[in-house]
Structure 1
Amino acid sequence: MRNLLQIGEVAQLLGVTTKTIRHYHKVGLLHEPERTESGYRLYDAQDLLRLKQIRHMQAFGLSLKHIKIILGDTLREHTLREILQGLDAELADQVRMLETRRARIRALLDEETFAKIDQPATLESFEIVKDLVGERLATVNPVMLEMEKQLWTVIDEFDWPADYREHMLQAAREIAANPDLYERIFAFNEILATLSGLPEDAPEIDRMVEECLQNQDLQNVLTAANALLAHMPRLADPFAAMFGNLMLTNISPAQQRFFQQLSTGMRSS
């Protein structure tokens, strides 16, 4: 009378496929059992219990790599606690993300419009910058507010290397802490807002570039901003080039021409 199970019978008891059990063997979670003369694997009660352990741990979201560490560790309880703590933190992040996503879906349903479904939700970094601006936000030109939002969209929507988002936020905090620089940047932003409604070939662009090059206050703003950014880790290519190209998609042709001419003028002055 046979008292060991073949792989198909084990798979049936566990509710998995034979392919799954073979994969457990392949990655080292299961030792190779004895075989019949025909080469079929035979599993005993201990094999069945180990398989059930593996399935229980998978149900908690543990990876096979982590399960292998836990089952093979003599200090299993300590290892399991650390892994479960890490998993709990991951799940907490996922829950927050799902709650944010659901809130956005509810907002779209309440608005009864789906035109914004391809647009990012309100971004965390942009909200931080708005808090830094404080009451001054009410006086910001709406055009520039939208441009600022698009800037932080580019930063928040992608996983840039080397904590780039945090460095940009730190730069924003330092600007907000410097009232003189802060006010001058607002003045410069008013110029950019004016440019947004102009055609690319507008003659006013040449005049505005010349005025900026002659305005020492604006020159100081750009110099100070560049000095602040110079202390930040720079993105390496191709990330730097891609970041620049993404930013260009958020400004008008007239603004692009203005920046190009202003940059050329500053280098030659």
Structure 2
Amino acid sequence: MKSEHFADFLDAAARGAGPHWAEVHPQNYMMAGGPMHRWLTAVREAVPVSFHSVGLSLGDPGGVDLEELDRLAKLVDRYQPALVSDHLSWSSIDGEAFPDLLPLPMTKASLDHFARQVDVVQERLGRQMLIENPSRMIAFSGDEYAEENFLAELVRRTGCGLIIDVNNVIVQQINLGIDPVAYLDSIDPAAVGEIHVAGHALEDHDGELLAIDDHGSPVSDECWSLLEHFLDRIGPRPVLVERDNAIPAFAELAAEAARADAICQRSLAHAA
């Protein structure tokens, strides 16, 4: 949900013609009041809302920023979102924040640390959180887990759920050579609380393609196809179309959201 689309979204919601829910970055609302809260209040009154945090930095070696967590908890209490989530990543160290969601090594030590931070967050919020699979450009040489196994163990230890970003899986297919169908087929359906789809950019580096998860283009045909495959296996879930760059008119995004909804409806019929 982008601020430039608030008015169009609310108009569509009033006519029963828009997306059925909205996701926001809670860090954009960590102030006492003002126009952003008036808009979010109106959106929350119209449809369910999901909070997708980008600031907890769960993989930070020093642990979660407790002040940031407290701000998030107050927003959760205020708006009662249907879902709360963050990323399998880190984005700060020694109090210095970075504008990126940086990858973790897939090791026992990082799993132990990350699970402890998820426990801290879930205890403070008094609810389950979802963790999103990353879009990685690199893998660490000392990795001890495949990513899907790392996520499965995190779910088992903490009781958290997952956001599966299908585009992130495609990005790793290009960058790391993973099999996207095998990855999706390994995910426990019971763990999945939300799904993301998006577009990405490709850069050519001396004949080697590098995928950049920029959310700056329409959802690709491959992403739609993998979404349909995934939902046929696990059943319908809330599906979010992400667009953070080169943001188009609301009607274009609403059409993509309608396509996602149609795939969900087909998966429901398939399950029946």
TM-score (norm 2): 0.22
Higher helix proportion, which one? 1
Higher strand proportion, which one? 2
Looking at CA atoms only, which structure, 1 or 2, has the larger radius of gyration?
1
TM-score (norm 1): 0.22
